[in-house]
Amino acid sequence: MADIHSAAVLLTTLPEEEAASVMGLLDPKQVEMVSIEIARLKAVSAEEQEQIIMEFAESNPAAVGTNPGGLDLAKSLVQKALGNKAHDTLDNIRHSIEAVPFAFLRQVDSQNILTYIIDEHPQTIALVLSHLPASVSSEILAGLPTERQLSVVQRVAAMGQTSPDIIQEVEQGLEKRMVSVMSQSFENAGGVEAVAEMLNVSDRATERTLLENLAQENANLVEDIRRLMFVFEDICKFSDKDIQNILKNVETSQWSLALKGASEDLKQKIFGNMSQRASEMLTEEMEYLGAIKLSVVEQKQQEIVDVIRRLEDSGDIELNASGEEEELVQ
């Protein structure tokens, strides 16, 4: 198997039963190699999963997920793939994972690791970062003070062979201090998403006033909030009149890409507000494009959302989120 990492990522995107069936087609040594890699996976970005899936097969990029790997998943897949023959392979996987220095940190968030090592000696930090995946090490390094970053990088660059006793001593000390973190589960609270959700159910006057005032302090934050308040599928909530106004301000080439990842309801909403000829041409263009990367589709959808937000701000269109007919006054 030329790329064990890609195979491991691909298997984590499949339902567990299907992944086990695929692994059942491999020989025991291949199962062991790919299972060890699955056990070492902490998290894989949607972009990497999409790229790997597209390389293996021309799959629908919208199906890409963000499932983590881990030792438990690796064990489960091996047991289902090999059945009674799984014992030796499971032992080899367990030994391989446990033999990796600081393996326990692979299941800990980078920000939590940073909290516990930020005040350590640069040599200790360098030792820890050298044994973590580059994606995690880079996040931790970015969180260090500038002068500490330089010291750590210099020590990583100069690091050669390190005594196993020293590694074990540092590892055991850090694991003992972090035992409470590793045994806890954390829930996200607050954040930009929470603000967007609150404003989505606020009256329009409150929303406008708050965002206008906030824009004077942090324009970028306001933009992030706006993007989360209205998503592409929300276009379905507009009246036909407003849909037609939106169509006048968005190029057909943008729709052909953006609608690739849209629901059938939204597609019909857009097509239904076009002339028959325009609808047919758009359908033909979408078919001609074939499979498109998810990132490209999402970018075009966001461009259209930005146009809609500008039309909303100017009063040219109005989103009726509830779908109820608003009372008119004379």
How much is the pLDDT for 255?
92
> Both 246 and 277 in a single domain?
yes
- 148 and 166 fall within a common domain: yes
The count of structural domains within the chain is 4
If asked whether residues 150 and 191 sit together in one domain, one would say: no
Considering the domain architecture, whether residues 299 and 264 belong to the same structural domain is answered as: yes
Please say which residue of 229, 248, 263 terminates a domain.
229
CA dist 270 and 255 (Å) reads 9
- Which CATH number covers residue 219? 1.20.5.2020
Block means of pLDDT (10 residues each) for the chain, 330 residues, are 65 68 70 71 64 53 44 55 55 54 73 85 88 82 88 85 79 76 54 78 74 86 80 86 92 89 89 92 89 86 86 78 46
Residue that is last in its domain, among 82, 99, 116: 99
pLDDT attached to residue 177: 77
Residues 212 and 253 in one domain: no
Secondary structure class of 201 (helix, strand, coil): coil
CATH number at residue 265: 1.10.220.30
Global model pTM greater than 0.85: no
Range of the domain at 148: 105-182
pLDDT the model gives residue 59:
43
The pLDDT assigned to 65 comes to: 43
The one-letter amino acid at 57: A
pLDDT at res. 62:
39
- Where is the domain boundary, 229, 259, 288? 229
Closest CA to 291 of 66, 104, 71, 55: 55
Closest CA to 194 of 217, 234, 221, 232: 221
